Amino acid sequence: MKSKNHPLLGIHSLLMMIFIYIPIIIIIVYSFNSSRLAADWSGFTFDWYLSLFENSYVMEALTNTLIVAVVSTVVSTLLGTMSALAMRKTTKKIKAGMGGLLYLPIIIPDIIMGLSLLMLFSQFHIPLGRLTIIIAHITFSISYVHVVVSTRLTGMKDGLEEAAQDLGAGAWQTFRFVTMPQILPGIISGAIIAFTMSLDDFMVSFFVSGPNSTTLPIYIYGQVKRGISPEINALCTILIIVSVTLILLAQFILNKGKGQKKQSVLPF
Amino acid sequence: MRKSNLSLLPVFLWLFLFLLLPMLMVVGISFMDRDELGNVVYHFNLDSYATFFDPLYLGIYWDTIVLSVLTTAICLLLSYPLAYYIANASPRMQTWGLVMITIPFWINFLIRTYAWVLLLRTQGVVNSLLINWGLIQEPLQMLYTKGAVLLGMVYTFVPFMVLPIYVALEQMDKKLLEAASDLGATPWRSFWHITLPQTKSGIMTGAVLVYVSTTGMFVVTDILGGAKSAMISNIIQSQFLGARNWPFGSALSVIFVITSLIMIALFNRAMTSRHLKVKEGR
Amino acid sequence: MKWAGLLLAVMMVVGLLSGCGGSSKETLNIYSWADNFDMDVIKDFEKQYNVKVKYDVFANNEDLLAKIKAGGNGYDLIQPSDYMVEMMIKQDLLAPLDMNNIPNFENIADVYKNPTFDPGNKYSIVYMSGVTGIAYNKKYVKDEIDSWEDLWNPAYKGKVILLDDNREVIGMALKKAGHSNSSKDEGEITAAVNDLKTLLPSVLAFDTDNIKQKMIQEEGWIATVWSGDASFIAKDNPDIGFVIPKEGSTIFADNYAIPKNANHKELAEKFINFMLEPEVSAKNYESIGYSDPNTKSAPFHSAEYNADKMINLTDEEMSRTEWLSDIGSQVSLYDRFWTELKSGRE
């Protein structure tokens, strides 16, 4: 069934991987550099890793970032998928209007989004903190999920769902066993983008954050004036290693369960 | 039909509350005036919109569009083969490929961009290697050029292109390709007439995401371009910050959002009409 | 489709890893630049007063202003720069300081007292100060450097770095022509900008934050640099020289100030007073490496710190400096010219 990949394609993909990973290797290497400003290579050290764990501000920022990213990804994935599904069956007018509306959060300059949300929150006396950051992140993430899931839906064959319903499947069953498996790659890709956007957002978070809700990007941008500490490189290195390990582990566990079911369609 | 409208409601309400409502304030401010301290004064006028048509700002917007289109095109050329490779790999490799492509982008954007500085500067890794290998005598000035900006933009937005194209490719009906090759079509012909049209929605989504994100980006021009060129987002940002001109910043944003929406719609239309032609031709 | 599960699992674990705790102690919420204090000093303060210090960060003055103006609150102590203090006073965003709680204010050197941006120190106290000068690498720059004019020397073409800040750069060109760095005269400003346009082809980059790395790595040969940063650079690259040009220059400072709606004003004042203790002060500035405005702390500083000419500027050098002051509605003109300079368009 699978069409073979041309060797040239393989070489291209390998080169792309190198392109994507070169800066990451540099980040890892410089996390062991003893120079504070990362200007020169001035000797090998583990100090940044040690001081990182004593730096409660970085740890708190990391915690805030992860909480915000996880919560906003889950909620926006739900909402974005819902809207993409609903948009298929609605009238042309609503489609055009909502379509435009859903592009807005992607287009609007970050500073506008941050400042205008801050004005909104302060008008309604909503205390600034993790919650307001989560709300803001959900707002822009919905769009990314919606757009990617819609891409998947465009290519989906309508016949399958009808067939399932003709065979007596209920609405939920049709969704759960026909639609959902079909669009899952879209949902996951959308969630990946949402998660990545949330982890990296500085401008919007900056304005809607309050005391005690500094996220990692806010912390890192704040450090720029004095020079970003190699502690951050150390942190990035740890994050990469943890992510890769977790994924390896999960892959290993899932592979074990293989055999009974030919393909696990759903993760839960 | 009613039911689907109902399930659109939560998203609509959310966006109404946290997007439209605040945006209305911005639109309002764009018609206002400001005082010496930068406070918004409630005096209706269109000056901010008139200022945009100053050749200075029009020129900067044009530069931004050119750079964004270029970034989008390069991202597409680089990403399509990669997405294709991943979509055609074994399911296990697909997992790997996608995750491995995404993980680097969980590292903070500033840190990633500074890593490029370490690579490209005159005493950086690339120049040292080239000199060591005897390929060059004097270090090349790679940083603080337009090329460095383009590289940084492409690097930043590549995953936005790979993911949607993968999503479309993975879903393609591969039997069509087999049928085509059975009928004697060359691989190139089948790609052009079957694969490409079927993955149009992926290309479309990827292109929009990359284009729009590039127009909104300015940190890359500052760090890799030596802050020697201005993007429209630099201007918008500085109106709200240093220049204390919220009305002009708001007006620029309104214009920016509207022109972006128009460009997306035009692009959308161009893609769909081509699609129709292909169908008719068959 | 397994990777769906993998990814979700990763996200879940990552989410679970993050917990949080609270405390009932009185809390001082500082809003400043990152790494702006020696962390041990802050810990000492927490211990001595049995309070908790929370520390959030901003990346530049304009971000700070926009945030406070649009309703961001909850902060007890902020650290705006000189011209931003003036701006915030005008906008009625700061609370007057109660000097009864800050007896150590008398330790501040006279040069830093009663600054033009806050006459009588009603709202602010200088925390960290410096002067903009020229840093140059003696390996490449053989001529004697003593004037802003030297940046225009064609020998340094493509190796000049300027601060990425319109007030600093246009102010420098104004000083070069013998005017005030905060001139509001359109003719003077236009002439200064035209002069800068002739410098543009020589400019490698505009940069404020990473100018240190660029000079250490010898990407640039000559640059407009803050004195404290020059000291940083010289430590990593001994070929670096620094001079305050003869035409005079801009002095700047980050300050302590308290926002109008602060919840713990008195604690913030206690903190300022604590930071002005001579020993605390010495420990703090030794760690952050900028000029210490405290007159009584010199005995507690290391010999190396006291000998650093870029940190301890002479009275003669200080006499040639001028604070930036608010330029009112001319801000539009500065901004437009700055956009022209940066975009190379007109």
Q: Is C226 found in the same domain as C200?
A: yes
Residues in C closer than 8 angstroms to B241, CB to CB, are 60, 62-63, 65-66
Q: Which residue has the tokens 């290579």?
A: A41
Q: Does A23 touch chain B (CB under 8 A)?
A: yes
- For B225-234, the pLDDT digits (tens) are 999 988 999 9
Tell me how close the Cα of C201 comes to any Cα of chain B, in angstroms. 11
Cα C10 to Cα A20, B80, C16: the distances in Å are 21, 27, 10
Query: Least CB-CB distance to B227: which of C207, C213, C218?
Result: C207
Give the E-state strand segments of chain C in sequence order. Answer: 27-32, 52-57, 77-78, 94-95, 124-137, 160-162, 203-206, 222-226, 240-243, 249-259, 321-323
Q: Is C287 found in the same domain as C257?
A: yes
Confidence of residue C15 (pLDDT cuts 50, 70, 90): very low
Cβ-Cβ contacts under 8 Å between A and C: the total is 161
Main-chain phi, psi angles of A22, to 5 degrees: -55, -50
Residues in B closer than 8 angstroms to A115, CB to CB, are 240
Q: Is C78 found in the same domain as C171?
A: no
Q: Is C334 found in the same domain as C224?
A: yes
- For residue A36, the model assigns a pLDDT of 80
User: Taking 70 as the threshold, does the pLDDT of residue A254 lie above it?
Assistant: no
Q: Is C118 found in the same domain as C154?
A: no
In angstroms, the CA A210 to CA C56 distance is: 8
Quote the domain boundaries for residue C279: 24-129+253-312
Residues in B closer than 8 angstroms to C158, CB to CB, are 141
- For residue B188, the model assigns a pLDDT of 87
Q: Are B15 and A102 in contact (CB under 8 A)?
A: yes
In a domain, C9, yes or no: no
- For residue B92, the model assigns a pLDDT of 76
What is the rounded average pLDDT of the residues A206-217?
92
Q: Is C206 within 8 Å of B95 when comparing Cβ atoms?
A: no
Q: Residues with Cβ < 8 Å from B72, sequence gap 6 or more?
A: B161, B207, B210, B211, B214
- For residue A268, the model assigns a pLDDT of 28
- For C48-64, the pLDDT digits (tens) are 999 999 999 998 898 99
Q: Is A219 within 8 Å of C34 when comparing Cβ atoms?
A: yes
Confidence of residue C256 (pLDDT cuts 50, 70, 90): very high
User: Taking 50 as the threshold, does the pLDDT of residue B278 lie above it?
Assistant: no
Which of 277-306 (C) contact A at CB < 8 A? Answer: 288
Prediction pTM value: 0.90
pLDDT-above-70 percentage for chain A: 92
Q: Does C201 touch chain A (CB under 8 A)?
A: no
- For residue C260, the model assigns a pLDDT of 94
**Domain layout of chain B by residue ranges:** 45-281
- For residue A170, the model assigns a pLDDT of 86
- For C103-160, the pLDDT digits (tens) are 999 999 999 999 999 999 999 999 999 999 999 999 999 999 999 999 999 999 999 9
Q: Is B60 within 8 Å of C87 when comparing Cβ atoms?
A: no
In a domain, C166, yes or no: yes
What is the rounded average pLDDT of the residues C176-188?
96
- For C283-319, the pLDDT digits (tens) are 999 998 889 999 999 999 999 999 999 999 999 999 9
- For residue B126, the model assigns a pLDDT of 93
- For residue A243, the model assigns a pLDDT of 85
Q: Is C107 found in the same domain as C235?
A: no
Which of B108, B199, B266, B271 would best serve as a mutation to test chain A binding (most A beta carbons within 10 A)?
Answer: B108
Amino acid at C26: E
How confident is the prediction for chain A on average, in pLDDT?
87
- For residue C1, the model assigns a pLDDT of 43
- For B147-178, the pLDDT digits (tens) are 999 999 999 999 999 999 999 998 888 888 88
Q: Is B205 within 8 Å of A150 when comparing Cβ atoms?
A: yes
Cα B216 to Cα A108, A267, B212, C14, C187: the distances in Å are 8, 35, 6, 29, 35
Task: Please count the structural domains in chain C.
Answer: 2
- CA angle centred on A189, ends B189 and B17, rounded to 5°: 125
Alpha-helical segments (H) within chain A: 7-30, 47-54, 56-88, 92-107, 110-123, 130-154, 159-166, 171-174, 180-200, 203-208, 216-223, 230-256
Instruction: Give the CATH number for residue C268.
Output: 3.40.190.10
CATH topology of domain A56-225: MetI-like fold (1.10.3720)
Low-confidence winner among B96-100, C31-35, C143-147 (lowest mean pLDDT): B96-100
Q: Is B241 within 8 Å of C344 when comparing Cβ atoms?
A: no
- For residue C173, the model assigns a pLDDT of 97
Domain with CATH 1.10.3720.10 in chain A: 56-225
- Going by C-alpha positions, the residue among B44, B15, B50, B13 that lies closest to residue B31 is B44
> Is domain B45-281 classified as CATH 1.10.3720.10?
yes
Q: Is C135 found in the same domain as C125?
A: no
Q: Is C331 found in the same domain as C199?
A: yes
User: Taking 60 as the threshold, does the pLDDT of residue A184 lie above it?
Assistant: yes
Q: Indicate the SS3 state at residue B5.
A: helix
Which of 127-146 (B) contact C at CB < 8 A? Answer: 141, 143-144
* Subunit partners of chain C (3 or more CB pairs within 8 A): A, B
